[in-house]
């Protein structure tokens, strides 16, 4: 049978792993995790079982009762890693593999104490999406191969551990100076949702089913910022159906975390750049929370269907936003997304095949195909369905979609059949095939209008002709209004214009990273030297790729700022996550 996922050796005709019991022993000095993974199969099986591995150093491969198991670790293949081919004796129920992770694993970032807020202890976190779980464990590493898991994670005192699972207690570890933290994940998850973090951590309860974890010096700020989580959960349940994961906890990571958020089940991982002090950036939390339905319950069956995860989740996130803050606020969020989408169509001008929703990723690394297109184009497709069917008819369809496919992994084609069953004829009406399989944004994409948007766009369009916002207007803007305005300003700006903007919007001392980064992007594109010190500081402390990419790209526009970018990158590189490193290297290469 043909493999269903171009990024995995998973073969659905072979035995399935149902449950994995992990023992992880974290060694900061060697930047390695010594591990055993006990894989329980769905039923007693024999014959071939192919697992994904990457960078793993195998120590032993045995059956559950300790007999050596015939196996072959094949040669390294680009993107995929090394297939571990097992030959299971009759009626094998368990496979036990002892191994060690590589210090080079992209799935793990090992932080020095100085890269943390507390500066006293090291920190470790994982990031497995899209195909990095195989660097932490030998698995059928495809979203179609769901597993439950249990784990015992041994870490040095006084560090704490969290995982994408329920806590199951902690106790002194096997060696003095260690502690073992136990976890259980009883719901079946795709392997990319396996996650762990280790560091000096404290927590605060936000509601009976939610708490936030962070370094001790950050945790109160985090608790304040995310205090609205229960209201968000309740809103999401009303829109999408019951929350199926019992608890919703969050972890705020050190600033090198390469994403805004990652929807690890029961333990969303978040960038500390969300801690703006005014709760203005909690949309990212709404997004990760929404993944509890769209992505974690109903999962893309491979990265060729990634839009099913992210497009659906952006749509869901904006519905939560609308329910909590109203239609105008949601229209601003759509408008901000529209700019991101336009920028991505430009970036992929030479690769229009990557602007489709349904992708063909044979031979393409999902990290290289990553863009805002599945997010924003996918969300617009859902919004178009909603508008065409009418919300009253549409909302129950969305809930049935989640109810029908919960705890399964599906393809775009299965989604299409479901939509056609639920809303007969709608595909033809809206040109669904072109939405899914054509490049760019179809002309019937929904528009999101609001008077405030028109005012901001007109004001920005008048910049060249001398129009400037009044101080009272600026004072009344929230984060979204300020962003929409700034995104629409022409660039490069003259030195005098940059100075005006900096002063009028008090940009230099912004603690809000969305606004700060938009400003630094304008300043970078304009070669505005007074902003370079702040730029250097941001680029050397923050690893969130959404922020690195636009600034480094804008610095590429003139030789002087190219040199600055190279200089900053040389200093920042050792502190960057492997993904951030690779992403910036790609940008600098194109200079």
Residues making contact with ligand BES (CB under 6 A): 129-130, 259-263, 283-284, 287-288, 291, 310, 370, 375, 546
Return the number of the residue (150 or 251) whose C-beta is nearest ligand BES. Answer: 251
How far apart CA 313 and CA 328 sit, in angstroms, is: 20
Return the number of the residue (121 or 132) whose C-beta is nearest ligand BES. Answer: 132
Q: Residue 361 CB, nearest distance to Zn ion (Å)?
A: 18
How far apart CA 358 and CA 225 sit, in angstroms, is: 36
Catalytic choice (248, 375, 513, 552)? 375
Cα torsion 270, 273, 278, 283 to 10°: value is -50
Return the number of the residue (306 or 569) whose C-beta is nearest Zn ion. Answer: 306
The encoded tokens of residue 100 equal 């060690």
Max CA pair span of the chain: 80
Stretch that binds Zn ion, among 64-72, 309-317, 503-511, 580-588 (CB under 5 A): 309-317
How far apart CA 98 and CA 379 sit, in angstroms, is: 42
Q: Which does 546 bind (CB under 5 to 8 A by kind): ligand BES, Zn ion, none?
A: ligand BES
State whether residue 212 is helix, strand or coil. strand
Count CA within 13 A, CB hemisphere, residue 439: 13
Catalytic choice (200, 225, 263, 288)? 288
Helices marked H in 182-305: 219-225, 229-240, 283-290
Stretch that binds Zn ion, among 307-315, 325-333, 400-408, 574-582 (CB under 5 A): 307-315
Q: Residue 293 CB, nearest distance to ligand BES (Å)?
A: 13
Q: Give the 3-state secondary structure of 93-136.
A: EEEEEEEECCCCCCCEEEECHHHCCCCCCCEEEECCCCCCHHHC
Q: Which does 262 bind (CB under 5 to 8 A by kind): ligand BES, Zn ion, none?
A: ligand BES
Letters for 313-342 (x = contact with Zn ion by CB under 5 A, - = none) are x-----------------------------
Return the number of the residue (305 or 546) whose C-beta is nearest ligand BES. Answer: 546
Q: Which does 375 bind (CB under 5 to 8 A by kind): ligand BES, Zn ion, none?
A: ligand BES
Q: Residue 430 CB, nearest distance to Zn ion (Å)?
A: 24
State whether residue 440 is helix, strand or coil. coil
Rg of the chain taking only CA atoms, in angstroms: 24
Alpha-carbon separation of residue 306 from 142, 301, 302, 344, 358 (angstroms) = 12, 8, 7, 16, 8
Q: Which does 308 bind (CB under 5 to 8 A by kind): ligand BES, Zn ion, none?
A: none
Stretch that binds Zn ion, among 146-154, 311-319, 381-389, 461-469 (CB under 5 A): 311-319
Closest residue to ligand BES, judged by C-beta, is: 260
The yes-or-no answer on residue 547 being catalytic is no
Closest CA to 288 of 248, 322, 326: 248
Q: Which does 481 bind (CB under 5 to 8 A by kind): Zn ion, ligand BES, none?
A: none
The yes-or-no answer on residue 375 being catalytic is yes
Q: Which does 115 bind (CB under 5 to 8 A by kind): Zn ion, ligand BES, none?
A: none
Go through the chain and tell me how many residues it has.
Answer: 591
Stretch that binds Zn ion, among 210-218, 251-259, 306-314, 327-335 (CB under 5 A): 306-314
Helices marked H in 153-270: 219-225, 229-240
Q: Residue 569 CB, nearest distance to ligand BES (Å)?
A: 21
Return the number of the residue (130 or 383) whose C-beta is nearest ligand BES. Answer: 130
Q: Give the 3-state secondary structure of 456-503.
A: HHHHHHCCCCCCCCCHHHHHHCCHHHHHHHHHCCCCCCCHHHHHHHHH
Return the number of the residue (235 or 526) whose C-beta is nearest ligand BES. Answer: 235
Q: Residue 268 CB, nearest distance to Zn ion (Å)?
A: 10
Q: Which does 549 bind (CB under 5 to 8 A by kind): Zn ion, ligand BES, none?
A: none
Label residue 392 exposed, middle or buried (CB < 10 Å: 0-12, 13-18, 19+). exposed
Residues that bind Zn ion (CB under 5 A): 310, 313
Which residues are known to be catalytic?
288, 375
């Amino acid at each position: 049978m043909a493999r269903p996922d171009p990024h995995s050796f998973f073969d659905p005709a072979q035995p399935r792993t149902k449950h994995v019991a992990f023992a992880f022993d974290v060694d900061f000095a060697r930047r390695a995790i010594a591990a055993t993974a006990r894989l329980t199969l769905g039923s007693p099986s024999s014959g071939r079982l192919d697992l994904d591995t990457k960078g793993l150093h195998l120590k032993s491969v045995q059956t559950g009762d300790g007999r050596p198991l015939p196996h072959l670790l094949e040669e390294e293949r680009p993107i995929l890693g090394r297939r571990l081919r097992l030959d299971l004796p009759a009626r094998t129920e368990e496979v036990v593999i002892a191994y060690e992770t590589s210090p080079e694993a992209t799935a793990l970032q090992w932080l020095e104490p100085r890269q943390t807020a507390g500066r006293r202890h090291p920190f470790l976190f994982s990031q497995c999406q899209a195909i990095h779980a195989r660097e932490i464990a030998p698995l059928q590493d495809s979203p179609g191969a769901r597993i439950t898991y249990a784990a015992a994670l041994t870490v040095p005192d006084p560090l704490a551990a969290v995982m994408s699972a329920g806590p199951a207690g902690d106790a002194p570890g096997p060696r003095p100076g260690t502690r073992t933290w136990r976890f259980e994940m009883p719901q079946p998850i795709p392997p990319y949702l396996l996650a762990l973090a280790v560091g000096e951590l404290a927590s605060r309860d936000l509601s009976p089913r939610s708490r936030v974890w962070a370094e001790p010096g950050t945790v109160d700020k985090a608790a304040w910022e995310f205090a609205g989580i229960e209201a968000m959960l309740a809103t999401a349940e009303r829109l999408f159906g019951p929350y199926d994961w019992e608890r919703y906890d969050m972890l705020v990571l050190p600033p090198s975390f390469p994403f805004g958020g990652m929807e690890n089940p029961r333990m969303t991982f978040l960038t500390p750049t969300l801690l703006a002090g005014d709760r203005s950036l909690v949309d990212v939390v709404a997004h990760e929370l929404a993944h509890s339905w769209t992505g974690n319950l109903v999962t893309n069956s491979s990265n060729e269907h990634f839009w099913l995860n992210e497009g659906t989740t952006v749509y869901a996130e904006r519905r939560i936003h609308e329910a909590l803050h109203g239609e105008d606020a949601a229209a601003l969020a759509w408008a901000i997304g529209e700019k991101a989408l336009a920028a991505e169509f430009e970036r992929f001008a030479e690769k229009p095949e990557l602007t489709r929703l349904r992708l063909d990723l044979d031979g393409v690394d999902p990290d290289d195909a990553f863009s805002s297109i599945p997010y924003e184009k996918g969300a617009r497709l859902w919004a178009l369905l909603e508008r065409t069917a009418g919300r009253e008819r549409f909302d129950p369809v969305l809930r049935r979609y989640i109810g029908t496919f919960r705890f399964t992994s599906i393809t775009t084609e299965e989604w299409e059949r479901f939509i056609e069953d639920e809303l007969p004829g709608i595909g033809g009406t809206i040109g669904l095939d072109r939405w899914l399989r054509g490049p760019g944004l179809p002309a019937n994409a929904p528009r999101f209008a609001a008077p405030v948007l028109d005012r901001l766009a007109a004001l920005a369009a008048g910049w060249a002709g001398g129009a400037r916002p009044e101080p009272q207007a600026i004072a009344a803007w929230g984060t979204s209004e300020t962003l929409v305005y700034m995104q629409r300003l022409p660039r490069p700006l003259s030195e005098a214009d940059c100075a005006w903007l900096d002063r009028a919007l008090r940009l230099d001392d912004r603690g809000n990273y969305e606004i700060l980064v938009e400003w630094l992007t304008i300043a970078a594109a304009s070669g505005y030297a007074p902003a370079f010190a702040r730029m250097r500081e941001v680029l050397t402390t923050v690893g969130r790729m959404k922020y690195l990419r636009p600034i480094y790209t804008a610095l590429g526009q003139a030789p002087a700022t190219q040199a600055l970018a190279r200089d900053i990158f040389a200093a920042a590189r050792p502190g960057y996550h492997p993904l951030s490193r690779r992403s910036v290297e790609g940008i600098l290469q194109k200079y």
